[in-house]
Amino acid sequence: MAQVSDLEAGRAWLRARLERRAHPLDHLEAGAAERTIAALRGLDPESWTLAWGGLADEFVEAAEAAVGTPRERELWAQAYQASFLGRYPIPNHELKLAQYARAREYFMRAGALEDPPVEAITIPFEGHEGEGDHLRFYLTRPMGNPSRPPVAMVWAGIDTWKEEMHLRMGALLRSRGFAVLLVDMPGVGESPVLASADAERQWTPIFEWLANRDDLDGSRCAAIGGSFGGYWAMKLAYTHREYLSCAVNWGGGVHITYTPEWQQRSRNASSYLMDLMNARARIFGGKTFEDYVARCQELSLLDQGLLDQPNAPLLLVNGRNDLQNSIDDIYLSLDHGDPKSVRVFDGGHMGEGPVVPTIVAWVSSQLGIAATP
């Protein structure tokens, strides 16, 4: 169900995001985006994917005509951005699912032309019955390809997946000397598991893979989760602390966020254009608000008894006026367990201002990487 039911209101929401260069329009060419918004005939999946998928077609045609030129990589990147919009916020329709497949293809077409190129990694995964048997994620190496760089594992939330985090955070981490692993959190993208009270087990084989790499320094590893994904980064700081130098919960829930009272309050958050509750429920395999509320309380780190356990160094970050996840989860976390670092920004969900540079600087300091001049 759309949070913005009127097409003109939907166009206004998109244009406001485009003007601010905010998610989900933060990296799409402004002129192409505006032209597509103007041509949009509805927020239903057919109208939506026709518009954004058509824009992707234009960029694909241009990229194929620009093979071997300096513009080729950027055109594939724009084709990816348009297909990402085509599957936004989640591929809950066959047309959106097709756009998601296209987005992954175009992401790799662009990534193959980077220096160093993006690598797709597939490793075995021994899941529960009915789960997948492998994990797929991306490895991006720092410029200059130094020997045994430290590693940042990065993911986001219910609508922003591993591909989107490449530009949102991965590029800055690479420039600071990190190798970056781009991973999907449980219940989204190519994760083999749905969200559950023990879904952090999907990271165990990744940590084990990392420990056996001679070209990456797995002993210096950070976990950074954005939006809902901040929850999983924080949980790993407890459950997998022996593998982590530090972790960042950037806008994720802890306990209060998962109560029925908060979910009722946030179910129509204006920071979402459409399908917020469908997107939330989908991580558990559900579709409705009721599906989500029936499951989300099992994620509480307080009820799981983790908050009073030792943890890897933790940074908690959010916007003080977050409508999606409760800012009070930060204050609750400070009342339990080991001391934690906190940075609260102005704005709503995930904060506004120099949020990403602040996170990258903190992670760099934890891993002993000197600040840039």
Give the model confidence (pLDDT) of 92-141 as tens digits.
999 999 999 999 999 999 999 999 999 999 999 999 998 989 999 999 99
30-39 vs 45-65: helix crossing angle, rounded to 10 = 140
Q: 59, 91, 113: which is the final residue of a domain? A: 113
Statement to judge: residues 139 and 221 lie in one domain: yes
Statement to judge: residues 156 and 261 lie in one domain: yes
In the predicted structure, residue 4 carries a pLDDT above the cut 50: no
Give the model confidence (pLDDT) of 179-227 as tens digits.
999 999 999 999 999 999 999 999 999 999 999 999 999 999 999 999 9
Identify the pLDDT of residue 342.
Answer: 98
Confidence of residue 5 (pLDDT cuts 50, 70, 90): low
Give the model confidence (pLDDT) of 352-366 as tens digits.
999 999 999 999 999
Structural domain containing residue 203: 116-373
Statement to judge: residues 257 and 237 lie in one domain: yes
Q: Which residues in the chain belong to E strands, given as ranges?
A: 119-124, 134-140, 150-155, 179-182, 217-226, 246-250, 314-319, 341-345
Statement to judge: residues 100 and 187 lie in one domain: no
Statement to judge: residues 19 and 70 lie in one domain: yes
273 versus 44: the higher-pLDDT residue is 44
The CATH number for 134's domain is 3.40.50.1820
Which sign does the torsion angle of CA 232, 234, 239, 241 carry? positive
* Average predicted confidence (pLDDT) for the chain: 95
Which element (helix H / strand E) includes 7?
helix 7-20
Confidence of residue 244 (pLDDT cuts 50, 70, 90): very high
Distance CA 323, CA 262 (A): 10
Look-up of token digits 């999983």? 232
Statement to judge: residues 362 and 350 lie in one domain: yes
Q: 79, 113, 147: which is the final residue of a domain? A: 113
Give yes or no for a contact between 73 and 258, defined as CB atoms under 8 angstroms apart: no
Confidence of residue 372 (pLDDT cuts 50, 70, 90): low
Statement to judge: residues 94 and 148 lie in one domain: no
Statement to judge: residues 92 and 188 lie in one domain: no
Identify the pLDDT of residue 66.
Answer: 98
If one counts the domains in the chain, the total is: 2
Q: 113, 144, 170: which is the final residue of a domain? A: 113
Identify the pLDDT of residue 371.
Answer: 64
| Residue range 270-286: mean pLDDT, rounded | 86
In the predicted structure, residue 63 carries a pLDDT above the cut 70: yes
Statement to judge: residues 336 and 201 lie in one domain: yes
In the predicted structure, residue 241 carries a pLDDT above the cut 70: yes
Statement to judge: residues 248 and 277 lie in one domain: yes
Statement to judge: residues 195 and 106 lie in one domain: no
Statement to judge: residues 226 and 345 lie in one domain: yes
Give the model confidence (pLDDT) of 143-158 as tens digits.
888 899 999 999 999 9
